[in-house]
Amino acid sequence: MRNIILMLKHNLKIMIFKKPIFFIGSILLPVASVILLSGLIQSSSGYITYGVLDSSNSKASKAILDSISDGENVKIKEYTEEKLKDEVKLGNINGGLIINKDFEEELLKGKLDLEVVNLKGEDKSLLNSLVKENGKNLLDLAKISKGNKEKFNSYLKEYSKEKLDIKSKGLKDNSTDNFGSIALIGFIIMSIFFRGNMGADRINNDKEDKVYERMFVSGLKPYEYYAGNILGSLTAILVQIIIIVILVSNISSISTGLSSIQLFIALFITAILAVSIGSFNVSITRTSQESSMLSNIMMMVLLMLGGCFVPISLFPEIVEKISWFLPTRWIMEMIYGLQSGGNILDFSLNIVIVLLFSIAFFLFVAYKVHIEDKIVNR
């Protein structure tokens, strides 16, 4: 145990104190980049935009659209059905409304025949609330008119004339926060993986500098050396996470949708995974160059297919199914769920699966260390 603690101190000294400016820069750069990006996003999005497809072109459908748009903070754009859904998926508009051809006739029968289009998994949008409220009013008018179209149009005309005392106030575009927060968390996760790979790569550096063999002459065991490296990397990332959580909570103009505790837990689980993958990469490579190439490939696959930068809703079906075999997908699903108001305990399965992935990588490293230990003791 003493040797492990000594190796821990040695690795921390190299990772943090030998190049303090580089260490601090690697922490602040991803956060600073996204804070700057978030400011640009917010400054360019002063209003909410909804796409519509009004196949009915009736007085009832016009009443619905008039109730959504105020001409100032909410803008309405017309699209074809396919184009509308694509624009919502890409995040170019905040939501969509499809009003079917027989909307007015169905309304008189007591049915609200329209479709609200949101991002996958988002069912509590402002558009949903507006449509639900005004749709209910139209259904009440249809009920009073007892299916008589002339009476309904008469009631609708009076309803549309009603003036409400509305105070104009800027609306907060939560979708900006959603997209900005995913970009922010994606950058942070990438920096954690980068730190995990860089910490593990110390082993290959020691091998190239012939320090690796000399350490074992002093009686140090291979498992003690690897344990010290793993704990050192994890401690350095822990410092990184604490600083990032403080900065994100107090400086970033975009909310992650997570509490500080939830963000810390999600990032710490990611850190364990990053260190395990970094150790795995080093254990199967011989040089820093080989390790760097393998790390970059694995990191890009895990980040891109795991949904860290690209919303999972945009994935083709086959890619979405494959992504469930990646630990980062389970991390992002947990983050999406927490942003929607879930509790950390609701995602115990996600945490367990990510930890099982980490354990599998660590067990492989342990096997390789065991082989090396036999060689050293020959």
Is the Cα dihedral 339, 344, 349, 354 positive or negative?
positive
pLDDT of residue 163: 42
pLDDT of residue 362: 93
Domains identified in the chain and CATH numbers: 2-41+174-376 (no CATH), 48-161 (3.40.190.10)
**Backbone region of residue 368 per phi and psi (left: phi > 0; alpha: psi in -120 to 50; beta: other values):** alpha
Give every CB contact of residue 64 below 8 A, 6+ residues apart in sequence. 97, 99, 114, 131, 134, 135, 138
Tokens for 320, please give them.
Answer: 């979405």
pLDDT of residue 172: 47
Which residues are bridge partners to 48 per DSSP? 74
182, 173, 3, 216: which is closest to 73 by C-alpha? 173
pLDDT of residue 166: 38
pLDDT of residue 213: 65
pLDDT of residue 263: 92
**DSSP helix/strand/coil, 119:** coil
List average pLDDT for each run of 10 residues in the chain, which is 378 residues long. Answer: 78 76 75 63 60 86 78 74 82 82 85 77 62 81 83 79 46 51 82 87 76 67 82 88 84 75 94 94 86 89 88 81 93 88 89 96 88 64
pLDDT of residue 276: 94
Q: Name the DSSP letter for residue 207.
A: H
**DSSP helix/strand/coil, 56:** coil
Measured CA to CA, the distance from residue 168 to residue 205 in angstroms comes to: 62
